[in-house]
């Protein structure tokens, strides 16, 4: 544009060198940057001679070697031509229009929205991103954030000792087991654990290591779902699974749950033949019931008849407080229709980012290929540490300890709610898991309560946010596993104040 006005006769006015103390960038690099930008912006034109390294070094008060270093680099990158020492010029053969227009501006100034030309998925993410970009779980340790574990009780010393030992022994011992489906000894440890603790029927070959349940579900979605495929999904249900399946373009079929789990008759009435059925049989999320045996068998039969896949999300089944854990749905599956999704986020800690899929034998290769091509590998070191942690018995021991702790914490939460929130919240003790639902009386809106609680640093999740169809009752999800008595007591007290206040403003009579 107005190129002339940018050109100056004073040599190198555009070279700015910061105070050495004030900058980490070496002087030669600063000179290099200044010249490069001057060329790209058109301030220095192709063919024009640049000062000798001697004169520039004198002018800038830096060593000549520093200037030579800068010129050297500019030369290597094609900005300068000629022989250093005998005369150096701005390269002339560069496309002139690119050099002079547009002016260099900082990329951050690309402020006005432009058409981004994304994929359809990209556009959907762009549009719905704000909703999807929920705050990361583990940044706020506030009651009653669900999905958090009692990290204070995790044996980090043991974990760190195993990690240090494996790091010291170097990589050779570890990388030998690097299968495309995951670290081989970890797959073996997971298979052994799932067989004995969850009655999952599997060989280590069927275990695909993932970076947690969400990545497992993403692989399922990629490998199985086409746009417009019907996905039966529990309603209320797990919203992250819902979001993911929905992004694949699949048609979500919300299916109500009754006391036995997903209501297959209601689903059949929808007339929409399923391609995939997503369930949480051990402990329905978020309502908490266990799927009955009869329902499990019907579900497998339904899947068989429809040639559909069943995704069993077994997210918190290790924490069962009465009786032993209920065997997995996968263990009943004689048809090879169930894909088991496991996670260590609930049993170790969420930021470990490790989980697994157990897939039928004839899906192993396709899932392994999907994992490989999408770069869904997990760091070998963490897989190795977890494998040792499991096989040395620390894992089982930690689960046992947490089972006792979480049961106590649930009991304390229920007591506190009954004592301080009677009339406001109805909460029944649960057999399992790390959360309970507190049901609100008529007149309250769960989303509003959750929003208001958030302002008080209380994290509650609304049943409405986990529902596709409107659910007949308003309720709030209380995660209790991560919080000690003091935190729970104070959390409940804050909620009591909030609900009292809200009830007044609503003329609500408890």
Contact set for a second copy, span 240-269 (CB under 8 A): 240, 243-244, 247
The 3 state secondary structure assigned to 144-210 is: CCCCCCCHHHCCHHHHHHHHHHHHHCCCHHHHCCEECCEEHHHHHHHHHHHHHHHCCCCCHHHEEEE
Taking the complex as a whole, the smallest distance from the CB of residue 285 to a second copy amounts, in Å, to 16
Rule CB under 8 A: which of 302-331 touch a second copy? Answer: 307-309, 323-324, 326-327
State which of residues 17, 60, 84, 132 lies at the interface with a second copy (CB under 8 A).
132
Nearer to a second copy, 11 or 78 (CB): 78
Collapsing DSSP to helix, strand or coil, 247 comes out as helix
Give the range of 117-125, 393-401, 432-440, 480-488 binding a second copy by CB under 8 A.
Answer: 117-125
Give the range of 214-222, 412-420, 454-462, 469-477 binding a second copy by CB under 8 A.
Answer: 214-222
CA distance 499 to 451: 12
Give the range of 205-213, 412-420, 421-429, 498-506 binding a second copy by CB under 8 A.
Answer: 205-213
Rule CB under 8 A: which of 384-423 touch a second copy? Answer: none
Of residues 244, 253, 248, the one with CA closest to residue 214 = 244
Q: Are 326 and 320 contacting, i.e. CB atoms less than 8 angstroms apart?
A: yes
Q: What are the E-state strand segments in 344-494?
A: 355-358, 435-439, 461-462, 475-479
Interface pattern 4-43 for a second copy (x via CB under 8 A): --------------------xx---x---x--x---x---
Q: 83: how many CB neighbours lie within 10 A of its CB?
A: 8
State which of residues 15, 189, 224, 279 lies at the interface with a second copy (CB under 8 A).
224
Taking the complex as a whole, the smallest distance from the CB of residue 109 to a second copy amounts, in Å, to 9
Rule CB under 8 A: which of 86-115 touch a second copy? Answer: 91, 93-95, 98-99, 102, 104-108, 110, 113-115
Nearer to a second copy, 60 or 163 (CB): 163
Q: 157: how many CB neighbours lie within 10 A of its CB?
A: 8
Question: Under 8 Å CB-to-CB from 372, ≥6 apart: which residues?
Answer: 180
Of residues 243, 345, 241, the one with CA closest to residue 284 = 241
Taking the complex as a whole, the smallest distance from the CB of residue 497 to a second copy amounts, in Å, to 28
Nearer to a second copy, 246 or 416 (CB): 246
Give the range of 264-272, 370-378, 490-498, 499-507 binding a second copy by CB under 8 A.
Answer: 370-378
Taking the complex as a whole, the smallest distance from the CB of residue 346 to a second copy amounts, in Å, to 15
Q: Residue 141: beta bridge partners?
A: none
Q: Is residue 468 near a second copy by the rule CB under 8 A?
A: no
CA distance 489 to 509: 24
């Amino acid at each position: 544009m107005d190129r002339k006005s940018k050109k100056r006769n004073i040599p190198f006015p555009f070279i700015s060198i910061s105070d050495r103390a004030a900058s980490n960038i070496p002087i030669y690099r600063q000179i290099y940057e200044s010249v490069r930008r001057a060329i790209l912006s058109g301030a220095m034109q192709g063919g024009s001679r640049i000062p000798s390294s001697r004169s520039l070094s004198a002018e800038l008060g830096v060593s000549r070697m520093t200037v030579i270093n800068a010129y050297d680099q500019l030369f290597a990158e094609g900005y300068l031509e000629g022989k250093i020492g005998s005369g150096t010029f701005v390269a002339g053969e560069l496309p002139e229009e690119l050099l002079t227009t547009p002016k260099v501006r900082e990329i951050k100034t690309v402020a006005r929205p432009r058409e981004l030309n994304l994929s359809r998925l990209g556009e959907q993410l762009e549009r719905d991103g704000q909703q999807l970009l929920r705050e990361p779980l583990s940044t706020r340790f506030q009651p009653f954030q669900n999905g958090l574990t009692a990290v204070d009780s995790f044996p980090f010393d043991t974990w760190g000792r195993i990690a240090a030992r494996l790091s010291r022994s170097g990589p050779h011992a570890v990388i030998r087991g690097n299968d495309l489906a995951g670290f081989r000894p970890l797959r073996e440890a997971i298979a052994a654990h799932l067989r004995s603790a969850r009655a999952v029927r599997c060989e280590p070959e069927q275990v695909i290591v993932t970076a947690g349940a969400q990545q497992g579900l993403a692989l399922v979605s990629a490998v199985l779902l086409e746009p417009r495929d019907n996905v039966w999904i529990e309603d209320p249900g797990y919203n992250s699974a819902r979001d993911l399946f929905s992004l694949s373009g699949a048609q979500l079929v919300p299916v109500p749950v009754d006391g036995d789990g997903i209501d297959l008759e209601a689903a059949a009435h929808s007339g929409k033949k399923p391609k995939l059925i997503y369930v949480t049989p051990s402990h329905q999320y978020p309502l908490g019931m266990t799927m009955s045996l009869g329902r499990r068998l019907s579900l497998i039969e339904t899947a068989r008849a429809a040639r559909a896949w069943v995704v069993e999300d077994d997210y918190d089944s290790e924490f069962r407080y009465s009786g032993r854990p209920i065997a997995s749905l996968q263990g009943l599956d004689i048809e090879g229709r169930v894909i088991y999704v496991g996670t260590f986020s609930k049993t170790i800690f969420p930021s470990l980012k490790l989980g697994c899929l157990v897939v039928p034998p004839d899906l192993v290769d396709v899932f392994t290929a999907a994992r490989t091509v999408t770069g869904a590998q997990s760091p070998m070191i963490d897989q190795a540490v977890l494998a040792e942690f499991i096989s040395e018995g620390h894992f089982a021991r930690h689960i046992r300890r947490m089972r006792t702790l979480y049961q106590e914490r649930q009991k304390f939460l229920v007591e506190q709610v009954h004592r301080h929130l009677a009339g406001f919240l109805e909460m029944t003790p649960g057999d399992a898991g790390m959360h309970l639902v507190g049901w609100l009386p008529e007149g309250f809106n769960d989303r509003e309560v959750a929003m208001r609680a958030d302002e008080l640093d209380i994290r509650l999740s609304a049943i409405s946010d986990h529902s596709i169809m409107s659910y007949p009752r308003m309720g709030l999800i209380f995660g209790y596993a991560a919080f000690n008595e003091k935190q729970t007591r104070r959390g409940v007290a804050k909620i009591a104040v909030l609900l009292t206040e809200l009830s007044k403003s609503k003329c609500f009579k408890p």
